[in-house]
Structure 1
Amino acid sequence: MLMPLPATLYRLLTEYETLLAEETAASTTPGSQRLHDVAYTLCVSTGTREISDALDTARAYLARAGATPLSDRRVITSPPKPPASAVTSSPAAGNLPHGLVSLASTAHRADER
C-alpha cells in the first residue's frame, strides 16, 4: 500500500489532534467540517475506515519512519552545485556534467554503426 510522506502524515496527525483538543475545550457537540475533513484524509492516507485505526496506523508508521517534527529537520531548498572540475567542455558531452551525454549524440553514434 502507498503511504504518504512522513512529513505529510505528521502534519495531518498534528492538525487532527489540535482541532480535536480545541473542540473538546470548547465543549462543542457537533464536529467542525475541518475536523471531519482531516479525519477523512487520515483514513484515506492510512487505508483505514475508522479514525481510531487511522490514528494508530499513522503513529506506528511515523515511529517506524523515525519521523520528527518539521522544525527539527534540515530543509534543503536546492541541490548542491557540482564542483567546477566536474563540468567538461568536450563537444561530445555538449557541456554536460562529466559522464553524461545528450540523447542526440547517443542516437548519432548508433546510426554510425
Structure 2
Amino acid sequence: MSLSNYSYSSSSTFTSSSSNGGQRSGQAYKSTTSSDPSGTRVQTTSQTLGEPAMQETRHYNSEGKQILEGGRVLGQGNESAGNARRIEDVTDENNNDREYRDRMEDEYAKREGGA
C-alpha cells in the first residue's frame, strides 16, 4: 500500500440537554474530518437549543498548514507586517510592577508586625 494514495474520514457527535424549572437548554456539536493526499478538511457544526446551527469548515494543505480564504496559507509570509500575528508571553510581569508589589507586601508586613 502506497502512503500517497490514502484517504481518511472520521466523525464525532456530542449532545447535551437539561431542564431546570420548565426551562430547557441543550447543545449539539458535530465534527467531521476527512483527509486525502491533497490535505484535510475539518467541518464542525454546533447548535444551542432554539438557535440556528453554526457551521465552520477549515482546510489544511498536505503539510498541515491552514488554507485561508482566497487560497492563502497561514504562516507562509503572506501576512503584511501590520497584520502579522504574533504571540506575546504575558506571564512575565513588568519588572516595575513586581518591585512595587514587593514594596507593598513589605509595607503591609511592617504594619502587621511581621517584619
Q: TM-score, normalising length from structure 1?
A: 0.26
Give the helix-richer structure, 1 or 2.
Answer: 1
Give the strand-richer structure, 1 or 2.
Answer: 2
Q: TM-score, normalising length from structure 2?
A: 0.26
